[in-house]
Structure 1
Amino acid sequence: MNLKRFCATVLFLSLSFSAFALSDLDYLPKTVSYDPSIPKPEDVLGSPVGTWHARHDQIVRYMEILAESSDRVSLSETGKTYENRRLLLMTITAADNQKNIKSIQKRHLEVIEQGAKSNDKDPLILWMGYSVHGDESSGANASLLVAYYLAAAQGPEVDKLLENNIVLLDPALNPDGLARFAHWANMHRSQNLVSDPNNRELSQRWPRGRVNHYWFDLNRDWLLLTHPSSRARIKQFQQWRPHVLTDFHEMGPNRTFFFQPGISSRKNPWTPDQNVKLTEALGNYHAAALDETKQLYFTQESYDDFYYGKGSTYPDGLGTIGILFEQASSRGHLQDTVNGLLAFSDTIQNQVTTSLSTLKGALANKQALVEYQSNFNKLTDELIKDDRVKGYLLSESRDKARFNELKKILQQHKIEHYSLNKNAKIDNVTYNSVDSIFVPTDQPRYRLVKSIFSTRKRFDDNTFYDVSNWNLALAFNLQYTEVDKGDFRKVSYSDKQAELKVDKLPKLQGNAYAYGFSWEDYKAPKFLQRLLQSGIQVRAAESAFSAKTSSGTISFSSGSIVIPSGLNQPDDMLATIQLLSNQLNIPVWSIESGLTGQGIDLGSAKMSPITLPKVMIVGGLGVNQYEAGETWHYLDTRVGMPVSIIDMDRLSTLDMSSYTHMIWVSGNYKNLPESVIEKVAEWVDEGGVLIGQQSGTKFISDNGWLKAAFMKRSEIQDAFSAKNLQFGDREAFAAKQRIAGAVFETKLDISHPLGFGYTRSLLPVFRNTTEVLLMPEQPFITAAKYVEKPLMAGFASDEMQDLISDSAAVVAHRFGKGRVIGFVNNPNFRGVWYGTSRLMGNAIFMSKFID
């Protein structure tokens, strides 16, 4: 009797804790024996796997014990999460391989990166990753059993497997989310298991365990590297470059089991077709294993393999076979589904089964996997030779912090990028050698490079599961251009990798009249926040000026910060300014007089006092947890600002008077009580700053607070014709009416307070909404608008482009004594849109200038 049938039988006999009184061995093959000296997971957990949702600390402890007990297992800590949980990577292989693991690793990289000849005796490198989404916990729980099997199983079959494979096992890619979900599921577990899908156990509150500490989806962060867990993982991946990487997930309870390949037409265009063929070859082993236990499954449908920022897709760009698995989720311990009772143990079983079928299939296809990876660079070289694009020039002269953050991402992916030996002029734009880098296409990471600088707008299949573009130069709002064969001779670049730029900071003078710094640096809001927290009195310049300083005459643009000496305690002030200047690498100039050479004087009414803001983000059930988390992450980690996150259902009793700013991200606000609507209106009227983004802006508009209206949904739908379409065209027709994620160009009014710190008016924005904000009739309140032909990169139908053309992107104005600011887009998308997240900083600190 298989595990699923056994569980079901026991469940019907007694829905109690004894329902899962199985042995861990019931999950594992019976064809081998197990070393009794190696402890099973249940010996450490106190009950068999699947009885409870294992906490992350329990998983860590078991893996430590396993490493102590078996000479096949070694364990390394690769980093820490935001909540200080340990990130682990286990290396499991034959004992003799363990003794030579460094030399095996070195030789493997020589084969991949230096073209060394592979040896039949060289082991495969297999990376097994589990539960990047914390509430998809069957993977992490299965990792306990897979690790035990590899450490304890005995026999010729296992010996052969371990001698020919290095298994890198990441038991929990999202420890913080897993811990949140395990606590939720366990705290609501009844002795008599409740399978009702409406039961509280199976319906998480806000935020869900899917996300990390800041409520980000870590499965979208492999390329962007916004978070420490992603950075730690990519560092290890680059040091190992495995042949196969597995990524174990869960999906809706009423599904079955999915494994790749998915829809072949939706793979990344830079992924070789041979990758799909090898994925299919391994898929035959998953199918055989699931057939044996009569499990339902599907493949070659649903889920794309396009975005190089996902766990099963990032490896494809570097010669690894990335494979996605999706198991129907019990979301607790037991759930009623269209396929009958689904127990947590069932979900774990399928993840174990396909983990082991991956090992078996990889070993059977060892020669093909080794040949594919060793030939990957040769195939890449052929693409490079045929490519008319020879590289990409990137430049940023005024904001080194933002430019440095992009360089850090390139460094972590080992993407080559070089300083220029001299200025380069392409299409009448001069790229200054001091402020520019060149990213050549002629390099091993060619496929990643082509993807992260892609401006492609049409694809073989325009249906996307996730974003259709992730151009990093556009996300960082850098001046950039592709360099084709004809212009390549104009580019002379160094043979050394570009370094992070550090400003030479001027020495502060103790007797200065005032001190000032530019608002153009990405870290300027953080500098200002720290000054205000220190009690230092500051002024912000509404207009540009130039002033005589100890370093000569310096020009200060709108938004620049001035610290008058006469309003502060000189000794404490000077030490604080110097410390922050050094920490943030922002030059501070010692201004010698309040009389300026040009523009406003330092005592002008347009030198406005800035006070410490107190910001609230509206959260709770109904609010988009990703957008709320992205806003929190920006303000907390990039600005250093303590932010209050207050659930919607508390607003009716909340005293709003102490808050200066209120942020409404996307969400469902239809059921807010009228009393709350009236409180918000009164709060703004009395001087509060109301900020909305995406559907949060529509909520603000619908309540009459924003002086701009959205296009009716019926008008948007009328732009698409279904005439002459057949039933089979439904999916393609729906794809035309959505924007999964593309880059659009806006024109930013850099004289507007929301545009302070920007030096170029054309601003790329990320858009994944179809809502269209009509241009307001009132002048001076549109801070940014879409250009006539707005699509820059990624897919959007012609109909959607026409609707968005010349529409409003950012609107801001007074409302009584307060201000209202509406963003059509999400300026903080996935923590990587450095080019637009500054708009949120301006909305906080420069909002008083909106008049």
Structure 2
Amino acid sequence: MLKVVHFLLLLFSLNQVFAQNTTPDQYLGFPLGSKFAFHSQIVQYFTTLQSQNKDRMKLTQYGTTNEGRPLMIAFVSSPENISKLNAIRENHLKSIGLMPGKPDASAPPIVWMSYNVHGNESVSANASLKVIYELLNKNNSLTQDFLKNMVIMIDPCINPDGYERYTQWYNRVQNTVPDVTPFATEHDEPWPGGRFNHYLFDLNRDWAWQTQKETQERIALYNQWMPHFHADFHEMGSSRSYYFPPAAKPFHKDITPWQRQFNDLIGEYCRKYFDKNNWAYFTKYNYDLFYPSYGDTWPTVNGAVGVTYEQGGGGRAGLGIERREEHDTLTLTSRISHHYATSLATLEAVQSQKEKIVEEFIKYHDNAAKVPGGTYKTYLVKTKGQEERIRSFGDWLTRQGITYGIAGKSVTTKGTELINATDESVKIENNDLLITAYQPKSNLLRILFEPKPILEDSVTYDVTSWGLSYIFGLKAYGLKEKLTPAPYQSEKIENPVPGFTPYAYIAKWSEVEDAVFLAELLKNGILVKTSNVPFEIDNAKFNAGTLIITKKGNERTDFDKLVTSIASKHYVKLLPVKTGMVTSGSDFGDDHIAALKTPKIVVLSGDGISATAFGAVWHYFEQQIKYPATIVNAGKLLSLPWAEIDVLILPDGKYGDMLGEKQLEVLQNWVKSGGKVIAMEGATDAFINKTGFNLSKKSSDKKKDADFFKKYGDKERADASDSSPGSMFQLTMDKTHPLSFGCSDEYVTLVRDSYEREYLKEGWNVGYLTETGYKAGFVGSKMSGKLKNTLILGVQEMGKGQVIYMMEDPVFRAMLYNGKILFSNAVFR
């Protein structure tokens, strides 16, 4: 009998062991925090836990990165909630008006926790392993209460490509015993670093614009769930401690009192953990809630409570780094502990207000749909002549979850033109786009459309103006009256092969898809010409920049079928014509009709060059217009086969010795023989006052006595007075120059610095700022004077070639629609 009892006890103890989840240490084969886990290990650990907790965890792949790595989300909750997960989602969406019908039950709070949006802020993904383990640990009474009371969504790594770039490098160079010496190799991450995604975009600035694959796939899932709370986990410089809310000013004015109150509450819960452990921290500094494209602000303007957490460390910290001023060594293990603590504090705070957070979320969307805030109740977007741009804008609205339609009838009303802020009479035409403010996402709509956001504090570190009229180059109006849109349906473009043999096909040039169309024609060996002057033919008027594809020079049997099919694919409407003689303008054999080359393009990369500026150019070619560009390390400039290159692009950066006297001489000789240089932002510094190049810097005023006796305590605000984090300015453009062809009548760009360039004495001052260029956003008092009467876009002709100077980046973050057209002109014309 005793043997039977012993056997039963042994069996019971074994069952207890088998019932335990695999710990991170057990799965990884090393203590968590002693090494960086690879992304594949993180995914597999989450997969292992799901197999052990099928009733309490559901792991879903919601997308893939550019390099093919999975994007995963784990749903963790009680068995009851997991068994009816989709019903919870549907009831939640019905309660806020984003799904038709009435909910048959209330939904619990939904909390989304995002780790590692910046790849080399790698503590986050490693911390997620501890978080998911403890959430599923049945012996942890606190976390089991969380599972009963909410649905928790864990994204262990938003940016797997950047994370893996960092961890692969670090695990290769680290010492067996981590070298905590700050200047050791393992604290010197090479260019371009792991912060960014495959195309070197900052995914934390992409929430609103959704230019990147990872963002688009994440937001698609986000809109299916619309969480009540979103937490975004980051790292900052290794000399700093830990930041948690309350956030710093400026807050966007439309953040609700409840969201502000909960921001404070989060700080209280985090403080308890940190005070208990004597951990250093700070609040209300640096990290504001203004620009609506971050992982805290975009969820906030979608009604959630969105917060950022910042752990001191970053890519430089590695597994451990000595901090002499702090008299300590910052380790990965301690960083994991801090993020784990704020993860728990987040869930405790939500649990403490579990009814209120749901109630306020419903009220937020209900008010938005029934009594929308703001002056305008309808937004009108003119569509005639820019149908493809409207299609692109409509796709973006759909990704945001914003509904829209067309006017459906013609009517005249009063409205405010949003770029110039002028009140005027507006004729609404049948196919104009209408976006009503009476919808659940009305607040997001209003905030993204606002032309001049109100900034309560000048100390902010990113873009301060983002109006959709500027971003998409739209003629848009705010209307005070409520108009109900009619259903919108995108018109498909068909270009049948004509029943006659065309002399040429004509295609307008004003949309990004026109550049994609041109790129594909050139890749297929089609000769394309362009008119440098306006013309009229067959009772149709065409602007300068129009593409002309003649039969002459394209003597191939598939010519008509190929051109028409490529045009239809890219939403380009062709006009086939029987003659090369025009009614007005230049005939197709005139000198004003120029053939466009199929250029061999080289883009410089490497140390000293801004990774994000390079990435924006790379993404433009590979993903936006799909035209080949060869990437070359800038250090190899002298060894390039210049005779094979047509266009050389220098993204923003500090070129220093890369463009010394010898390199500039080689470059100049190549340009004279027909090459083209496109120098962007900081790259233009290398050409200032150099022999043969006409670029020069404006002379600055001498310092005033007050500048010498400024107060140290005012340093932050003094720095802000000489800054423009990202403001909208309208350039005065030479509309006759090919660089401006196809851009909207009002070319508005983001200005983020003052390069103080003199107008070109010899060359073309294509785009420049006058006294009246400012449109919106914060510009410091000292910076304001520098951004007047200064060159932004200039072209210098040199022999058979040219140098194009761009003091602002037209493809910055892939945000500016007109910028992409202008950059296409620079490349191909």
Displacement of 1:431: 4.9
Residue equivalent to 1:768: 752
Relative to structure 1, is the Cα distance of residues 375 and 720 closer, same or farther in structure 2, using a 3 angstrom cutoff?
farther
Q: Structure 2: where are the runs of 5+ without partners?
A: 1-15, 415-422
C-alpha distance in structure 1 between counterparts of 2:595 and 2:106, whole Å: 71
Residue equivalent to 1:11: none
Question: 2:676 aligned with 1:680, yes or no?
Answer: no
Give runs of aligned pairs for residues 104-253 of structure 1, distance below 5 A: 104-113=88-97, 122-154=107-139, 156-253=141-238
1:728-752 Cα offsets, whole Å, 9 max, x none, are 3332222111000010011222211
What letter corresponds to residue 643 of structure 1 in structure 2? A
Pairing partner for 1:439 from 435, 440, 450: 435
C-alpha distance in structure 2 between counterparts of 1:474 and 1:434, whole Å: 24
C-alpha distance in structure 2 between counterparts of 1:586 and 1:811, whole Å: 30
Residue equivalent to 2:462: 466
Pairing partner for 2:653 from 646, 667, 674: 667
Relative to structure 1, is the Cα distance of residues 41 and 431 closer, same or farther in structure 2, using a 3 angstrom cutoff?
farther
Give runs of aligned pairs for residues 265-414 of structure 1, distance below 5 A: 265-329=249-313, 331=315, 332-337=318-323, 338-339=325-326, 340-377=328-365, 380=368, 384=372, 387-414=374-401
What letter corresponds to residue 598 of structure 1 in structure 2? S
1:690-746 Cα offsets, whole Å, 9 max, x none, are 11121222323343554342224x43x859965996543332222111000010011
Residue equivalent to 1:523: 513
Pairing partner for 2:554 from 557, 568, 583: 568
What letter corresponds to residue 396 of structure 2 in structure 1? I
Deviates more, 1:633-642 or 1:835-844: 633-642
Pairing partner for 1:835 from 794, 805, 818: 818
Relative to structure 1, is the Cα distance of residues 186 and 430 closer, same or farther in structure 2, using a 3 angstrom cutoff?
same
Relative to structure 1, is the Cα distance of residues 254 and 422 closer, same or farther in structure 2, using a 3 angstrom cutoff?
same
Displacement of 1:269: 1.2
C-alpha distance in structure 1 between counterparts of 2:476 and 2:703, whole Å: 37
Relative to structure 1, is the Cα distance of residues 304 and 683 closer, same or farther in structure 2, using a 3 angstrom cutoff?
same
SS state at 1:325 partner: strand
Give runs of aligned pairs for residues 445-844 of structure 1, distance below 5 A: 445-456=441-452, 459-483=455-479, 485=480, 488=481, 492-496=483-487, 498-505=488-495, 507-509=497-499, 511-548=501-538, 553-672=539-658, 673-704=660-691, 706-712=693-699, 714-715=700-701, 718=703, 722=707, 726-758=711-743, 760=745, 762-778=746-762, 781-844=764-827
What letter corresponds to residue 788 of structure 1 in structure 2? E
Relative to structure 1, is the Cα distance of residues 349 and 520 closer, same or farther in structure 2, using a 3 angstrom cutoff?
same
Displacement of 1:457: 6.1
Relative to structure 1, is the Cα distance of residues 808 and 158 closer, same or farther in structure 2, using a 3 angstrom cutoff?
closer
Cα pair 2:601 2:645 within 8 Å, conserved: yes
Residue equivalent to 1:90: 74
Displacement of 1:321: 0.9
C-alpha distance in structure 2 between counterparts of 1:257 and 1:211, whole Å: 22
Displacement of 1:649: 1.5
| TM-score normalised according to structure 2 size | 0.91
What letter corresponds to residue 687 of structure 2 in structure 1? I
Deviates more, 1:150-159 or 1:45-54: 150-159
Displacement of 1:184: 1.0
Displacement of 1:670: 2.1
SS state at 2:552 partner: helix
Relative to structure 1, is the Cα distance of residues 108 and 522 closer, same or farther in structure 2, using a 3 angstrom cutoff?
same
Relative to structure 1, is the Cα distance of residues 379 and 735 closer, same or farther in structure 2, using a 3 angstrom cutoff?
farther
Relative to structure 1, is the Cα distance of residues 271 and 74 closer, same or farther in structure 2, using a 3 angstrom cutoff?
same
Residue equivalent to 2:408: 421
Cα pair 1:257 1:328 within 8 Å, conserved: yes
Residue equivalent to 2:9: none
C-alpha distance in structure 2 between counterparts of 1:662 and 1:789, whole Å: 33
1:66-125 Cα offsets, whole Å, 9 max, x none, are 222212111111112111211111111111111111111112223333799999974221
SS state at 1:107 partner: helix
C-alpha distance in structure 2 between counterparts of 1:117 and 1:541, whole Å: 58
Deviates more, 1:376-385 or 1:603-612: 376-385
Relative to structure 1, is the Cα distance of residues 34 and 418 closer, same or farther in structure 2, using a 3 angstrom cutoff?
farther
1:353-380 Cα offsets, whole Å, 9 max, x none, are 2112212222122233233223323565
C-alpha distance in structure 2 between counterparts of 1:628 and 1:380, whole Å: 40
What letter corresponds to residue 536 of structure 2 in structure 1? S
C-alpha distance in structure 1 between counterparts of 2:542 and 2:98, whole Å: 50
C-alpha distance in structure 2 between counterparts of 1:69 and 1:447, whole Å: 42
What RMSD over aligned residues (CA atoms) do the two structures have, in Å? Answer: 2.5
Residue equivalent to 1:16: none
What letter corresponds to residue 404 of structure 2 in structure 1? H
C-alpha distance in structure 2 between counterparts of 1:502 and 1:223, whole Å: 27
Relative to structure 1, is the Cα distance of residues 783 and 229 closer, same or farther in structure 2, using a 3 angstrom cutoff?
same
Q: Structure 1: where are the runs of 5+ without partners?
A: 1-32, 847-851
Displacement of 1:614: 1.2
C-alpha distance in structure 2 between counterparts of 1:353 and 1:593, whole Å: 74
Relative to structure 1, is the Cα distance of residues 526 and 56 closer, same or farther in structure 2, using a 3 angstrom cutoff?
same
| TM-score normalised according to structure 1 size | 0.89
Cα pair 1:398 1:521 within 8 Å, conserved: no
Deviates more, 1:447-456 or 1:109-118: 109-118
What letter corresponds to residue 348 of structure 1 in structure 2? I
Cα pair 1:506 1:589 within 8 Å, conserved: no
Cα pair 1:469 1:741 within 8 Å, conserved: yes
